């Protein structure tokens, strides 16, 4: 347990150093507060965060650089609502490959399909699990028949259509 005195407020902060990815990266209470603010709104001005936490903008900037360099954070992004763009069907597809050695080639081909949002190498029956977004069920069927199942080595697929995404969050700090 480490204790730090905030010179501005006179409040003493105690924090436990965390070990991240078996590297010695110390994430203290101030780092966690900064991350919480930015996870809530990545466009929040650094000076606004600094005022709320009680440290300088330069200190926030230095801490963000440390967190970026260590790999704890990697940039910021806007989230596009696919439904507004006409993509109303989300599906998860378990892809069976005839040989495990075809994995890297299959993934290269999956990367060429813009509707594939995620691809995970998994344990269990499937070789990979992909998440795709489509305009509708007809679009999904067309993707399955003409693109995904046409990939060399794909022996079959198993599709699960998402009816509603009920939880969408990042890891909590």
Inside any domain, residue 146: yes
Q: Give me the pLDDT at residue 27, please.
A: 87
DSSP per position, 132-163 = EEESSHHHHHHHIIIIITTSTTEEEEEEEEES
Q: Give CA 147 to chain center in angstroms.
A: 25
Q: What is the pLDDT of residue 75?
A: 78
The percentage of residues in the chain with a pLDDT greater than 70, rounded to a whole number, is 86
pLDDT for res 162 = 97
What percent of the chain stands above pLDDT 90?
Answer: 70
- pLDDT tens figures, 17-27: 444 444 567 78
Which pLDDT tens digit goes with each residue over 84-109? 999 999 999 999 999 999 999 999 99
What is the pLDDT, as a whole number, of residue 16?
43
* HSE-up (13 A, CA, CB side) for residue 49: 24
pTM value is 0.75
pLDDT at 96: 97
Residue 36: give its domain's CATH number: 1.10.10.10
Q: What confidence score (pLDDT) does residue 24 get? A: 63
Residue 39 within any structural domain of the chain:
yes
Is residue 21 in a domain? yes
Note the pLDDT of residue 170. Answer: 85
Q: 74 in a domain, yes or no?
A: no
Co-location of 65 and 95 in the same domain: no
Instruction: Of 105, 129, 108, give the one whose Cα is nearest residue 119.
Output: 129
Q: When comparing pLDDT for 99 and 10, which is higher? A: 99
Q: Domain limits at 149?
A: 89-162
What's the CATH code of the domain at 158?
3.30.70.920
């Amino acid at each position: 347990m480490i204790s730090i005195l905030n010179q501005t407020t006179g409040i003493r902060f105690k924090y436990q150093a965390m070990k991240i990815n078996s590297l010695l990266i110390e994430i203290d209470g101030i780092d966690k507060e900064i991350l919480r603010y930015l996870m809530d709104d990545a466009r929040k001005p650094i000076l606004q965060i600094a005022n709320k936490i009680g440290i300088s903008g330069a200190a926030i900037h230095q801490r963000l650089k440390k967190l970026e360099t260590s790999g704890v954070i990697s940039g910021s992004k806007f989230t596009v609502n696919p439904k507004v763009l006409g993509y109303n069907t989300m599906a998860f597809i378990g892809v069976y490959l005839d040989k495990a050695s075809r994995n890297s080639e299959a993934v290269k081909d999956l990367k060429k399909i813009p509707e594939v949002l995620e691809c995970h190498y998994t344990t269990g029956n499937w070789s990979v699990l992909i998440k795709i977004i489509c305009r509708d069920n007809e679009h999904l069927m067309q993707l399955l028949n003409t693109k995904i199942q046409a990939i060399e080595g794909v022996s079959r697929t198993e599709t699960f259509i998402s009816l509603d995404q009920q939880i969408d969050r990042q890891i909590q700090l």
